[in-house]
Structure 1
Amino acid sequence: MSLIAERLKLVRPSETKAMTARAAELREAGVDVITLSQGEPDFDTPASVCEAGVRAIRDGRTRYTPVAGIKPLREAVRRSFQHDHGLDYSLDQITVGCGAKQVVFNALFATLDPGDEVAIPAPCWVSYPDMVALAGGRPVMVSCDEFHGFKLRPDALEAAITPRTKWLMLNSPSNPTGAVYSKDDLLALADVLRRHGEVHVLSDDIYEKLTYGTEFATMAAVAPDLSGRTLTVNGVSKADAMTGWRVGYGAGPLPLIKAMNLIQGQTSSHTSSISQYATIEALSGGRDHVREFASAFVQRRDLVVSKLNQAEGLNCRMPDGAFYVFPSCAGVLGKRTPDGKLIATDTDFAMYLLDAFAVAVVPGSGFMASPYIRVSYASSLEDLARACDRIIAACAALS
């Protein structure tokens, strides 16, 4: 009898973590690696947020909290949903978890029976399919091509829905493509969902505040009649530079939130009490830092897109949100490296960039789309310029 459960065979290690770990190994060996594989802002957590955390420690806010999160934080989340989207949730309809990732997993684990399906537009975040599989469901990948901006089309959604479909996973702005669903995009998908009352919507809005030109929209606000079967997930990791604080939250139908809290109560319990008090400040303190971060990301995005489009064999579209670009590397496939190795896949190309030119990116195959690479521009302009120059040189060295 094997010690390890059979379901673990369905789960892959995260390619983003793997590439970042490989880059760290090379850096420890003395290689000047520039890491563009991690989905983490390089900004410091705002000082006022840090002070709120310190104050919580000094005030003795270091004990257990309710599983769903402290009441003042859920009130801050409630105000945020009301102010930003006109969404009105009771406190019991809001749950706080150890990052948005846990909130998503809790929802899947609470709702999926064996054979239940989750429609996932691809390219998608690396963890979605594996979390679905780990929860006992079946991920159904729905291809979203570059020609249509990497966004799910209503006809593709209609074709993907079966009697076993329980969830549609929506991530806007998207990791890895930076695609942003407009209000009209969501309304078109809502028309399909109205014909399939058994399908719920998991709206992962973690990059909500990082949009550049396209106004953000979320399904529960755009289609209020679907709010009763929509879970809206968000957090402070990305927009507030609080990745390590581990705070995410979700709001949705009361029976679902209760089930998610039941799971959380028997697994992690609540997230850090200190992080919760710091998050109140992040959500309630004006968030001027978010606008500053977004402005910096626009500069970085424009630099990276311009430079990568100078690289022979790469084609990089301009994203509307998040802090990633997702260039096609189809033009380098079939070429050979200076030492004669064939570049047959996007993984080959990503490893070539890392091993030969000390730039860490993530192959598109990890995001269920090939041949692409994901490049994070959550780094300084200087590092981004140096990295892109290396990528241009790497492409030029292929034959």
Structure 2
Amino acid sequence: MLSSKLPDVGVSIFSRMTLLAQQTGALNLAQGFPDYDPPLVLREALARHALASGSHQYAPMPGLPRLRAAIAAQVSRLQPDAPAPDPDTEVTITAGATEALYGVLAAVVRPGDEVIILEPAYDLYGPAVRLQGGVPRYVRLPAPQFRPDWDEVRKALSPRTRLIMVNSPHNPSGAVFGAADWEALAALTEGTDILVLSDEVYEHLVFDGVLPGSARRHPGLRARSFVLSSFGKTYHATGWKVGYCLAPPALSAELRRVHQFVTFAVSTPTQHALADVLEADPTDAHARGLAGFYQAKRDEFAARLADTGWGLLPVPGGYFQLASYAALSTLPDLAFAEELARQWGVAVVPVSAFYHDGYNAGLVRFCFAKGPAMLHLAGERLARPPLVPGQ
């Protein structure tokens, strides 16, 4: 008889709510993906390389040298206060940030090691730790700001703490670490062997004129941090599944030991296409323009839900909106999300799915990475009274 390693884990809430959207015809504001295409220049680059000879065999295991060099150059331009990463030893191309995250955990977490997870957290974090024999130690982020209480994080540390996982901008809340947060994290880990996994896939989506931070930009964190990024988020191409990890040479070497036996190499024509667009954008206009692009969507979505009974929480970054539905229903969040899809025609994610214990904060998550027509129609549906109020 097979004994499951994850007996309590079923189909992800994202797949579940997307399926419900398909079954009911609801607008899918649940799963975090745009409903518009990547930039035309990127699609054209992929078409060229998909047809070109010489682009159809394995890429080097760490990634195409030209793509790693282009990433290093961009990081150097966007983070002038930090040393440029060495493209040969500090940049690794992965099959999305998901593979990078799993690879880091597989590389450094041993049975019995403890990993600090700040929640609500992306639902991959805990299971991926457990699959390595690690022990998740959860610290709750206080609502509505969802910024860490670093005293609570300190209390969770033990001699067995191997890694602290952080995520800024944060999924699901959009919270963004400030300088004081990076300082606090550095102070907690100073003089220890604790490593940091910094999930920065929404790195360019920081709003209201705030400059993006990074674990790489803090001298006390740089030597102990794996920093994850995602081309899927940056170029509206989540289905391409290309990400990368920036880490010091010794840490990158450990990640690559795992990566070579999991994926080995990411799609060669896709890597060439991404290198093309990075090399052709020396001012990083695309990356620098994302904050304004998504801030406009945030503001449009919020304006459509003003004075409708939805309690919108602040969104400093990312492309998700958390909302309280306390004025609309007394149902638990999962039941309310199902009601919302069936009766209002909008699919969302209940925030309890981001807690290991299913904690119900009475919040749901909307994805506003959608085109104008979708946001307009969603706003109309969400502004009307529920057809069958949950009580």
- The alignment's TM-score, normalised by the length of structure 1, stands at 0.89
User: Could you tell me how far 1:309 is from its partner in structure 2?
Assistant: 4.5
Establish whether residue 228 from structure 1 lines up as the match of residue 223 from structure 2.
yes
Q: Which amino acid aligns with 1:60?
A: G
Of residues 226, 247, 270 in structure 1, which corresponds to 2:265? Answer: 270
Task: Provide the secondary structure at the position in 2 that maps to 1:238.
Answer: helix
Task: Provide the secondary structure at the position in 1 that maps to 2:117.
Answer: strand
Structure-2 change in CA distance of 1:25 and 1:395 (3 Å): closer
Q: d(CA) in 2 for partners of 1:39 and 1:232?
A: 20
Q: d(CA) in 2 for partners of 1:198 and 1:311?
A: 50
Q: d(CA) in 2 for partners of 1:386 and 1:55?
A: 36
User: Could you tell me how far 1:23 is from its partner in structure 2?
Assistant: 1.1
Query: Paired residue for 1:260?
Result: 255
Of residues 114, 118, 124 in structure 2, which corresponds to 1:117? Answer: 114
Structure-2 change in CA distance of 1:331 and 1:165 (3 Å): farther
Q: Size of the alignment, in residue pairs?
A: 379
300-309 vs 240-249, which moves further = 300-309
Report if the CA contact (8 A) 1:35-1:359 is conserved. Answer: yes
Query: Paired residue for 1:194?
Result: 190
Structure-2 change in CA distance of 1:310 and 1:395 (3 Å): farther
User: Could you tell me how far 1:394 is from its partner in structure 2?
Assistant: 4.3
Query: Paired residue for 1:171?
Result: 167
User: Could you tell me how far 1:331 is from its partner in structure 2?
Assistant: 4.0
Task: Provide the secondary structure at the position in 2 that maps to 1:119.
Answer: strand
Establish whether residue 210 from structure 1 lines up as the match of residue 208 from structure 2.
no
Report if the CA contact (8 A) 1:10-1:133 is conserved. Answer: no
Establish whether residue 42 from structure 1 lines up as the match of residue 35 from structure 2.
yes
Percent same amino acid among aligned pairs?
29
Task: Provide the secondary structure at the position in 2 that maps to 1:177.
Answer: coil
Structure 1: runs of 5 or more not aligned:
335-342
Q: Which amino acid aligns with 2:207?
A: Y
Query: Paired residue for 1:376?
Result: 367
Q: d(CA) in 1 for partners of 2:318 and 2:119?
A: 16
Q: Which has the higher contact order (CA 8 A, sep 6+)?
A: 2
Structure 1 vs Structure 2 CA RMSD: 2.0
Establish whether residue 68 from structure 1 lines up as the match of residue 62 from structure 2.
yes
Task: Provide the secondary structure at the position in 1 that maps to 2:324.
Answer: coil
Report if the CA contact (8 A) 1:12-1:130 is conserved. Answer: no
Query: Paired residue for 1:129?
Result: 126
Q: d(CA) in 2 for partners of 1:10 and 1:165?
A: 24
Structure 2: runs of 5 or more not aligned:
none
Of residues 314, 334, 342 in structure 2, which corresponds to 1:347? Answer: 334
Of residues 251, 275, 298 in structure 1, which corresponds to 2:295? Answer: 298
User: Could you tell me how far 1:175 is from its partner in structure 2?
Assistant: 1.1
Q: d(CA) in 1 for partners of 2:77 and 2:41?
A: 21
Q: d(CA) in 2 for partners of 1:145 and 1:253?
A: 32
Q: d(CA) in 2 for partners of 1:229 and 1:71?
A: 24
48-57 vs 302-311, which moves further = 302-311
Task: Provide the secondary structure at the position in 1 that maps to 2:100.
Answer: helix
Establish whether residue 83 from structure 1 lines up as the match of residue 77 from structure 2.
yes
Of residues 314, 317, 320 in structure 2, which corresponds to 1:318? Answer: 314
Of residues 380, 391, 395 in structure 1, which corresponds to 2:382? Answer: 391
User: Could you tell me how far 1:332 is from its partner in structure 2?
Assistant: 4.2
Q: d(CA) in 2 for partners of 1:160 and 1:284?
A: 44
Q: d(CA) in 2 for partners of 1:62 and 1:177?
A: 40
Give deviations 1:43-64, integer Å, cap 9, x for gaps.
Answer: 3111222222222231421111
Structure-2 change in CA distance of 1:228 and 1:291 (3 Å): closer
Query: Paired residue for 1:337?
Result: none
User: Could you tell me how far 1:191 is from its partner in structure 2?
Assistant: 1.7
52-61 vs 371-380, which moves further = 52-61
Query: Paired residue for 1:181?
Result: 177
